Structure formats: structure tokens, C-alpha cells
Amino acid sequence: MKRIKQLPRFMVTVILFLIFFFPFYWMFITSVKTLGETVIFPPSMWPEVFQWQNFQQAFNSIPFMHYLKNSIIITISVLVLQMLTIVPAAYAFARYEFKGDKLIFGIIMITMMIPGQLVFLPLFVMFSNMGLINKLPSLILPFASSAFGIFMLRQTFKQVPKELIEAAKLDKAGEFKIITKIMLPLARPTLTTLALLTFISTWNDYFWPLTLTTNDSVRTLPVGIASLRQIESGVNYHILMAGNVMLVIPILIAFLFAQKQIIKAFTYLGDK
């Protein structure tokens, strides 16, 4: 009886799993097919022979390591800069009252509502005037801080009981120690989630690196992978997908490690 009652729940779980899993499955299975298999109708769900050399071909068709290096430099720089700007800002908004604090916070929140496509033209002109086009800073600086990050971390900091900070003050801890030893360890789930979201959005970003670069020198992996399409004649779906598989592997690994912390970040802060 109990099992029957759980059946609808089970079914919903399976359907949701399929919806989210299928694109990944399709990407992977296409990446190991032959070109012929990718275009036949009805589509095949399993390759006759796994074509592992597709990965090698994708790797060799473009300067893969060059793009990878750019992606890593940009992603790590953005992550570090965001942490350096978000943490003090969130702490100040959460713990201090100062003139205009609500107004400034409001303005920061409003920036979340402005789509990136709207500001890219003025930014392009600005970077161009500064001579930064086709240089790494033009892909890093626009993402050096994050309004969403400030907001999330401020909420987490606000949940920390004020007695903890007072106890630390009585323990001779200064602001820097309070942030690094008390607040940040408590906010670890939020920080991990923010870092992962930033990592994914920066790593996968296609629009910005494409529009702010005019040659390959600082282009990133997503732009590079997309260029696999134009190789030889027609679209080589299997090679393109092999490139995509290589692109998402770091994200999947990061997600596997951060999973627990992400779940924590969206539940109560815990032990008061």
C-alpha cells in the first residue's frame, strides 16, 4: 500500500531526471557517433562503435590548449576579484549603518535588472578608448563584482547572531579577524554556491568573449568550441559535441564537489 502511494512521486522524479539528464546524454552519445550516425532519421540512441577519436579530432582542430589557458585565467581572475569585492561590501551592508546605506544598496540591486546586452556597447567603446580590446582585462573587469553575490552574502551575514561578533570583539578580534575567522567560515555554503555560479557563468560565457575580441589571442574555450562548426564543409555535430563534452567536464566536477554546500546555502544557517 505504502509503495503504491509513493508511485506518483517516483514517476515525477523519473520524468524530471529524464528532462534534465537527456540533453547531457544526447551530447555525449552524439560525441561518440560517426558523422553519418548523427544525421540519420530516425536518430539512433546508441552508436554502433564508440568513436573516441572524435575527441582527439576536436582537440586538434582548434588551438584547444590556448583557449583553455585563456578560460582558466579569466575564470580564476573573476572568481578572486569577486570574492575580494563582494565580502567587504556584504559585510558593510549587513553590519553597519551609515549615511546612504539603503540608497547605495538599492542602486546595486537595480544593476541586477539591467541586461548585459544593454551595456556592452558603451563598455566596448570604453575599453576600446582605453586600448583594452583583445586584452584579458576587458573580459575580467566587467565581472569583478556581482550585485547578486553582494545580496546573497549580505543576507547570510545578517543571519549571524550579533552576540557572536560581540563575543569576538571581547576576544580582542578586529574587523578583519571577525570577517575571516567568524563570518566567512559560517558563510561557507553561500560562498561555495556563489563561486560555483560565477564559475559556471564565466566559464560558459559566449557572448562577451565573442563581442569584445576581434582575434584569437584572448578568446576562450566556448568561442573556440563554437568555431568547430565551421571546419570543412557542413556542421560536424559529432566533433562539436566532443568539444562540448570537454567544455562541461570541469563544471560537472566542480558541481559534484560543491553539491552539499549548495544545498546547505539554501537552508537555514544552522547552529546558533
Partner 1 sequence: MSEICLKNIRKTYENGTTVIENLNLKIESGSFTVLVGPSGCGKSTTLRMIAGLEDTTDGEIYIDGKLMNHVEPGDRDIAMVFQNYALYPTMTVKGNIEFGLINAKVPKAERERLIEEIAGIVDLTEHLHKKPSQLSGGQRQRVALARAMVKKPKVFLMDEPLSNLDAKLRNQMRSELIELHHKLGVTFVYVTHDQVEALSMATDIVLMEKGVIRQHSTPHEIYASPQNIFTAQFIGTPEMNILTRDKVNKCLELQPEVGYIGFRPSKVKIYEEGDETKEKFVFKGSVLTREMLGSEVIYRIQTKMGVIAIKVFNDVELEIEDEVKLSLAYKHMYGFDYNKDRIQGSIL
Interface positions with partner 1 (CB under 8 A): 161, 163-164, 166-173, 177, 181-182, 185-186, 188, 270-272
Q: Which of 181/229 has CB closer to partner 1?
A: 181
Cβ neighbour number for residue 35 with a 10 Å cutoff = 14
Q: What is the distance between the alpha carbons of residues 187 and 56, in angstroms, rounded to a whole number?
A: 42
Distances (CA, A) of 160 to 101, 102, 122, 174, 260: 19, 20, 40, 17, 20
Residues 251 and 195 sit within 8 Å (Cβ to Cβ)? no
Whether residue 42 is preceded by a cis peptide bond, meaning omega within 30 degrees of 0, is yes
Neighbour tally for 163: CB within 10 Å: 9
CB of 183 vs partner 1, minimal distance in Å? 10
Q: Which three cell numbers stand for residue 158?
A: 545578517
Which CB atom, from 125 or from 167, has the smaller least distance to partner 1?
A: 167
Nearer to partner 1, 178 or 221 (CB): 178
Which is nearer to partner 1, 101 or 166 (by Cβ)?
166
Q: Minimal CA–CA distance to 236: which of 5, 10, 53, 96?
A: 53
User: Could you tell me the smallest distance in angstroms from the CB atom of residue 176 to partner 1?
Assistant: 11
Of the pair 83, 225, the CB lying nearest partner 1 is at 83
Are residues 218 and 140 in contact, defined by beta-carbon separation less than 8 angstroms?
A: no
8 vs 174 by CB, closer to partner 1: 174
- Residues in CB range of 184: below 8 A, 6 or more apart: 87, 191
Tell the smallest beta-carbon distance from residue 195 to partner 1 (Å). 18
Question: What's the length of the chain?
Answer: 272
Nearer to partner 1 by Cβ, of 5 and 272: the residue is 272
Least distance to partner 1 from the beta carbon of 89, Å? 22
**Amino acid at position 140, single letter:** I
Closest approach of Cβ 185 to partner 1, in Å? 4
Least distance between partner 1 and beta carbon 235 (Å): 51
For residue 173, the minimal CB distance to partner 1 (Å) is 5
CA-CA-CA-CA torsion sign (133, 135, 138, 139): positive
